[in-house]
Amino acid sequence: MAAESSKREEQKGESTLVKTYLVAYNVSQMLGWLIVFVIAVSHTVSGNVHGVYKAVEQVLKIFQTAAVLEILHCVFGFVKSNIIVTGFQVYSRVFILWMVIHSFPAVQNGHGAAAVIYAWSITETIRYGYYFFSLLGQVPYFLVWCRYTFFILLYPLGVTGELMGVWTAIPYAQKLKVNTIELPNAFNMSFNFYYLLWFTIFAYIPVFPHLYIYMLKQRKKILGRRPKTD
């Protein structure tokens, strides 16, 4: 009995530690993305639309890259999210940020980058806020509504911005050989980033409608639970 009691206390302690960590992680991400949004708005209002990316660059890179931890959260069982879906979502964002926007200055000054920053910052502020309150045991309905409603506009906006960025990067990738490995080299292998960018564009064709329809179904399922009041 003493051994079982000790084991239960140990598991409870581990659970409390994990929950504390997840609360800290989600609060940090929520505030980080809120900062990105506020900075972006301030620069847009001042008329400096093309300077949005440079204004938020450091904060954006920190908090978007930190999302890689969410894959580890799945691996270690901290959360019940599907590791494949989570890995794909994190990879796509990190790829767009580092391999496309960061690598090509022409993309940084385009409207696509600004669209991505707005779509990501609003979406992630809401999403991490939702997770934070979920860990506390009660999510305000307004936040639930925002999470399952704002995506209707933000998801297409973000995808459009990402595609604009990739499209802008393609000719530069071909001409300047950015992120490309050519033969001969010590590893005796080659990699053409130009073709990966084209593959990325075509990959959006089946993936976007599938995920968008899934989110619409989730919206109907989640928001449909709220009882109607007279």
Q: In the prediction, which pLDDT does 13 show? A: 53
Average pLDDT for the chain: 91
Residue 230 has pLDDT above 80, yes or no: no
Q: Could you tell me the CA-to-CA distances from 81 to 30, 72, 86, 208, 219 in Å, in that order?
A: 19, 11, 7, 20, 18
Contacts 24+ apart (CB under 8 A), 136-140: 136/23
pLDDT of residue 2: 42
Residue type, 7: K
CA distance 131 to 63: 16
Distance (Å, whole) CA 69 – CA 168: 30
pTM of the model as a whole: 0.92
As a whole number, mean pLDDT of residues 89-112 equals 96
Of the residues 128, 131, 162, 194, only one is catalytic, namely 162
Which residue among 57, 155, 204, 212 is the active-site one? 155
- Residues 134-150: what's their mean pLDDT? 96
Residue identified by tokens 């050519």 is: 182
Residue with tokens 């794909």: 88
**182 included as an active-site residue:** no
Reply yes or no: is the peptide bond before residue 171 cis, omega within 30 of 0: no
Residue 6: pLDDT band with limits 50, 70, 90: very low
How much of the chain exceeds pLDDT 70, in percent? 91
Q: Which long-range contacts (CB under 8 A, 24 or more apart) does 169-176 make?
A: 169/100, 169/103, 169/104, 169/106, 169/107, 169/197, 170/194, 170/197, 170/198, 172/104, 172/106, 173/104, 173/197
Tokens describing residue 155: 């998801």
Average pLDDT on 51-71 reads: 97
Altogether, the residues listed in the chain come to a count of 230
pLDDT digits (tens, 9 = 90+) for 165-205: 999 999 999 999 999 999 888 888 999 999 999 999 999 99
**14 catalytically annotated:** no
